[in-house]
Chains A and B, each alone.
Chain A
Amino acid sequence: DIQMTQSPSSLSASVGDRVTITCRASQGIGSSFAWFQQRPGKAPKSLIYGASTLQSGVPSRFSGSGSGTDFTLTISSLQPEDFATYFCQQYNSYPVTFGGGTKVEI
């Protein structure tokens, strides 16, 4: 199975901050990579797929980059509604696997 390692596991930030979360795959996955946001008590929500394509309706302050094994999610200016947990995922091969999550706290 492909292991997805996210860092950090949690971070504290303020409104307006630039935030970067990284994810590393244990083997190359091309661009078959996604980021999800999950607010407490809610289902995950797709943010980015194909490593860098924004899901429809997602604000442009979110961006993704990377390919192969190393990927990054950037929030350019953190907003109050962005305080949540973020997960990475590879869908290049079975089984689909997820990172452990990054909790973004105030």
Chain B
Amino acid sequence: EVQLVESGGGLVQPGGSLRLSCAASGFTFSDHFMDWVRQTPGKGLEWVGRSRNKARSYTTEYAASVKGRFIVSRDVSENSLYLQMDSLKTEDTAVYYCVRVAVDYHFDSWGQGTLVTVSS
């Protein structure tokens, strides 16, 4: 069974940093693209970034709103995906989900989410 468990959310001040983690199990982690998606009541669902699979050298893509501030990475030995978030803004407040991407690029499994609140 595919399991994705996020952690690391919390309260952080504007300008601060936070690192989210996603522990993956039940599948071959290196075979899959992995994404981060966030959700706010006001803006709905927003794709944040991607780590491609081993075959694609774990290259990354980012939404324009986070490019240069967020970094997606993974530790294959730990079966973990990370989201390093720097220079946080109040508008980054959201629930962040870790998502597994299937071979045809559809999103087939989601974690339970972790809440990030950026506020002074």
A-side interface residues toward B, CB under 8 Å?
Answer: 32, 34, 36, 42-46, 49-50, 55, 87, 89, 91, 94-101
Q: Are the C-beta atoms of A49 and B102 separated by less than 8 Å?
A: yes
Given the contacts A87-B44, A98-B45, A49 and B97 also touching, CB distance less than 8 Å: no
Tell me how far the C-beta of B43 lies from the nearest C-beta in chain A, rounded to whole angstroms: 9
27 contacts between A and B (CB under 8 A): A32-B105, A32-B106, A42-B112, A43-B97, A43-B110, A44-B45, A46-B107, A46-B110, A49-B102, A49-B107, A87-B44, A89-B45, A91-B105, A91-B106, A94-B61, A95-B47, A95-B61, A95-B63, A95-B64, A96-B35, A96-B47, A98-B45, A98-B46, A98-B47, A100-B44, A101-B44, A101-B45
Contacts of B35 in A (CB 8 A): 96
Could you say which of A43, A49, A87, A96 contacts B108, with CB atoms under 8 Å apart? Answer: A49
Contacts of A96 in B (CB 8 A): 35, 47
Contacts of A98 in B (CB 8 A): 44-47
Q: Are the C-beta atoms of A89 and B107 separated by less than 8 Å?
A: yes
Q: Is B14 an interface residue (CB 8 A)?
A: no
Could you say which of B61, B63, B97, B107 contacts A91, with CB atoms under 8 Å apart? Answer: B107
Could you say which of A34, A42, A97, A100 contacts B106, with CB atoms under 8 Å apart? Answer: A34
Tell me how far the C-beta of A46 lies from the nearest C-beta in chain B, rounded to whole angstroms: 5
The CA-CA distance from A58 to B85 in the complex, in Å, is 35
Q: Are the C-beta atoms of A44 and B106 separated by less than 8 Å?
A: no
The CA-CA distance from A86 to B113 in the complex, in Å, is 18
The CA-CA distance from A87 to B110 in the complex, in Å, is 14
Contacts of B9 in A (CB 8 A): none
Contacts of B102 in A (CB 8 A): 49
